[in-house]
Amino acid sequence: MAAARYTPRFLQQLVDRLFMRAFAVSGAYGAMVVATEWGHRFGSAFFVYVIWVTACLVLGRIVAPIQNRFIPHAVFVGINFGVVLGFGLVTGWSVPALMAVPVTIATFDIFGNGDTRPYILTMLVAYAAAMALGGVDWRASAVVLAIGFAIHWLFEGRGDYLRATLAALEESKASLEDAMKAQLQAEAELRQAHKLESVGRLAAGIAHEINTPVQFVSDNLSFITKSTTDLSTLVQLLKSRVTSTDEVEKAIIDADLEFVLENLPMALESSRDGLQRIGAIVRSMREFAHPELRELGPVDLVRGIQNTLTIAKSEWKLVADLETDLAPLPKLLAHGGELNQVVLNIVVNAAQAIRDRVGKTGKRGRITVRTRADREGVTVSIADTGGGIPAAIRDRIFEPFFTTKDVGQGTGQGLAIARSVVSKHGGTLTFDSRPGEGTTFFIRLPVPAEALT
Amino acid sequence: MTRVLFVDDERMLLNALKCMLRGIRREWHMVFVDSGEAALSELGKNAYDVIVTDMRMPQMDGAELLRRVAEQWPDTGRVLLSGYTDEDARERVANVAHACLDKPCPATELCAAIEQQAA
Ligand SMILES: Nc1ncnc2c1ncn2[C@@H]1O[C@H](COP(=O)(O)OP(=O)(O)OP(=O)(O)O)[C@@H](O)[C@H]1O
Ligand SMILES: [Mg+2]
């Protein structure tokens, strides 16, 4: 590709640009010469220069649109030619000839739309003519042109610069917009991926939470079934032969009556408990993933928190006790599913922090979840007794992909997602952490002005 | 008589197993404990033909327990009865368990697995 940059077309353009710029700047420098020549008359050369350049720009601004609309190029070129030649001959002075240059250049370089070459050529010819006819001092003119070229190399042609800047701004705005769109897209995809991942991880725990009671409920049921058959056999026997105690005795032993009578109520009780557990998990799962929660709508955050804690139970139950203090909250206008995700991410972090701390010592930590409502809004606080967040990484935990966990344990997106969800809802996500004592995260969310039902 | 040690942190599960397996109490001698630590101390006191353990338990998990059993009592048959075994746990357990069963596991399957280990 490098070769393509130096094609004849590119060189042509380069020459064109240099040509235009050179004369634009030499014109501006001409203005400086005017300023110095007139400077002693007005006291300050710089002052005159400023006035002169301003006049050129203002004139350019007026002349360009008029010329663009009403005066054909040829006529304008002619006028310029006349001005330069006329002044040059009449005054015999280099200044008027140079005066016209910056006016023209300023006109076309800044406000016109491009090609200044005809005018520059006009200037040159008029200038040469004036010189040939003896009206202009060639040395002064040569110096002016030389310095003009020099300045060209130092400064950009203003018009081109403005246009280029504008174009570059346009372009970077467009590419920024593209990048922002791509970023949003990528963020949404990541969020989805993270959700799937955490659901996958939870699925393992949920499976365990459900399968254990299923196991003991069915074991109980086989016991109950068998016991019932044994009992009915026994009852049959008792009914028919009330007299023979030996036979009854044997039947009682066969039916394992004592054990059965002792354990039947317990088996029924624990079966009911197990089914209730399964029911609660399944219900929470259904509510956690309810399609309605994908939309913006009235949200009962306390309920969402309870569901989330039930689903995430296997994350913390081996290492921590859970304490909840859930004051009722007004309904929020929110994406319920996303808020559940925020709570889940923070609770999972809390459980992991505690697990890291207690390890296999057999000690247990504590996760405390609290809700409060006040005039400003609602606050959910999730506190753990983990190892705390070291001061050195406190600024970084909300960064996407920042993690201190092993591959497979964490992707570093949990808090980044949580924060973006909370701020999308107009709230804040902050934390307070003491190394060695634990960490508390605070989710603060605004409540809608009018009560939602 | 076959001696079987059951380990699970869920007491209700142990009770249900006890009730369900009551019918074969004359063929098997069964002991039920609720943690890996308790299982190790029980094994220290009495010999067992088969140990059946859960995977997810506080402190020592099933894989760790079976690893220690394999080291100290290599003759004891090792069965894992787990609600869910993730990739990581599956790997750790692959070398130390003779059989892996998934909860919920029908009584016949569980008994068959235990018998097979005892033989
Ligand atoms: N409650 C906490 N206690 C101690 N450290 C924490 C706590 N919460 C977060 N951190 C630290 O902040 C880091 C970033 O947390 P974040 O939830 O964003 O990612 P992760 O937990 O590492 O991975 P992921 O949530 O994607 O599975 C964690 O790696 C951990 O070092
Ligand atoms: Mg996390």
Where are chain B's structural domains? 2-118
Mean pLDDT confidence for A353-357: 94
The residue among A91, A195, A171, A104 whose CA lies nearest residue A135 is A91
- From the CA of A354, the nearest ligand is 1
Alpha-carbon distance B1 to nearest alpha carbon in chain A (angstroms): 20
Interchain pair B84, A211: CB under 8 A: yes
3-state SS of chain A is CHHHHHCHHHHHHHHHHHHHHHHHHHHHHHHHHHHHHHHHHHCCHHHHHHHHHHHHHHHHHHHHHHHHHCCCHHHHHHHHHHHHHHHHHHHCCHHHHHHHHHHHHHHHHHHCCCCCHHHHHHHHHHHHHHHHCCCCCHHHHHHHHHHHHHHHHHCCCHHHHHHHHHHHHHHHHHHHHHHHHHHHHHHHHHHHHHHHHHHHHHHHHHHHHHHHHHHHHHHHHHHHHHHHHHHHHHHHHHHHCCCCHHHHHHHHHHCCHHHHHHHHHHHHHHHHHHHHHHHHHHHHHHHHCCHHHHCEEEECHHHHHHHHHHHCHHHHCCCEEEEEEECCCCCEEEEHHHHHHHHHHHHHHHHHHHHHHHCCCCCCEEEEEEEEEECCEEEEEEEECCCCCCHHHCCCCCCCCCCCCCCCCCCCCHHHHHHHHHHHCCCEEEEEEECCCEEEEEEEECCCCCCCC
**What is the pLDDT at residue A356?**
93
d(CA B85, CA B83): 7
Q: What is the ipTM of this complex?
A: 0.80
Above 70 in pLDDT, residue A339?
yes
Higher pLDDT, B68 or A30: B68
Tell me which of A224-238, A432-446, B41-55 is least confident: A224-238
pLDDT above 70: residue A304: yes
Q: How far apart are CA A429 and CA A414, in angstroms?
A: 12
Of A91-100, A209-218, A322-331, B104-113, the range with the lowest mean pLDDT is A91-100
Between residues A77 and B81, which one has the greater pLDDT? B81
**What confidence category does residue A90 fall into, taking pLDDT thresholds of 50, 70 and 90?**
low
What angle (nearest 5°) sits at the alpha carbon of residue B43, between those of residues B42 and B49? Answer: 125
Across residues A235-239, what is the average pLDDT?
A: 79
Q: How far, in Å, CA of A109 to CA of A96, rounded?
A: 20
Tell me what pLDDT residue A185 has.
81
Examine the pLDDT at A229 and tell me if it is beyond 90: no
Whether residues A209 and B60 touch (CB distance < 8 A) is answered with no
User: Which residue type sits at A288?
Assistant: F
Give the pLDDT means over successive 10-residue stretches in chain B (119 positions). 95 93 91 96 96 92 95 96 81 91 91 93
Range among A259-273, A353-367, A376-390 with highest mean pLDDT value = A376-390
Distance between Cα A307 and ligand 2 center (Å): 18
| Residue A342: per-residue pLDDT | 95
* Rounded Cα gap, residues A433 and A375, in angstroms: 26
Which of the residue ranges A85-99, A151-165, A300-314 has the most confident prediction, judged by mean pLDDT? A300-314
- Global pTM reads 0.65
Instruction: Please state which architecture CATH assigns to domain A295-452.
Output: 2-Layer Sandwich (3.30)
Best mean pLDDT range from A9-18, A271-280, A360-369, B41-50: B41-50
CA distance A379 to A301: 10
A52 band by pLDDT with thresholds 50, 70 and 90: low
> What is d(CA A383, CA A431) in angstroms, rounded to the nearest whole number?
9
Per domain, the residue ranges of chain A are 2-156, 191-289, 295-452
At A1, the pLDDT band (50, 70, 90 cuts) reads very low
Q: In this predicted structure, what is the pLDDT of residue A451? A: 75
**For residue A135, what are the CA distances in angstroms to A159, A318, A347, A399, B83?**
32, 102, 91, 73, 106
Q: How confident is the model at residue A155 (pLDDT cuts 50, 70, 90)?
A: very low
Interchain CB contacts (distance < 8 Å): A and B: 84
Cβ atoms of A241 and A247 within 8 Å: the answer is: yes
pLDDT in tens, A240-251: 776 667 777 887
Q: Residue A86: is its pLDDT beyond 60?
A: yes
Q: Which fold would CATH assign to domain B2-118?
A: Rossmann fold (3.40.50)
Q: Which residues line ligand 1 (CB under 6 A)?
A: A 345, 349-350, 353, 384, 386, 389, 397, 402-405, 410-416, 439
Q: What is the pLDDT of residue A62?
A: 67
DSSP strand pairing (B2-7 vs B28-33) = parallel
Mutate to test the pocket of ligand 1, among A358, A397, A441 (most ligand atoms within 8 A of CB): A397
The yes-or-no verdict on residue A9 having pLDDT over 80 is no
Span of A153-157, A236-240, B100-104 with lowest mean pLDDT:
A153-157
| pLDDT at residue A149 is higher than 70 | no
pLDDT grade, residue A154 (50/70/90)?
very low
Site from B84, B105, B109, B110 to mutate, A interface, most A CB atoms within 10 angstroms: B84
Q: Given pLDDT bands bounded at 50, 70 and 90, which one contains residue A146?
A: low
- Ligand 1 atom 11: residue of nearest CA: A397
Q: Decide if A208 contacts B84 (C-beta within 8 A).
A: yes
Q: How far is the CA of A385 from the centre of ligand 2 (A)?
A: 16
Q: What per-residue confidence (pLDDT) applies to A167? A: 79
Whether the bond into B104 is cis, omega within 30 of 0: yes
Question: Separation of A257 CA from ligand 2 center, angstroms?
Answer: 53
- A247-286: pLDDT as tens digits: 778 878 888 888 888 898 899 999 988 998 998 888 888 8
Least trusted range by pLDDT, from A46-55, A406-415, B22-31, B33-42: A46-55
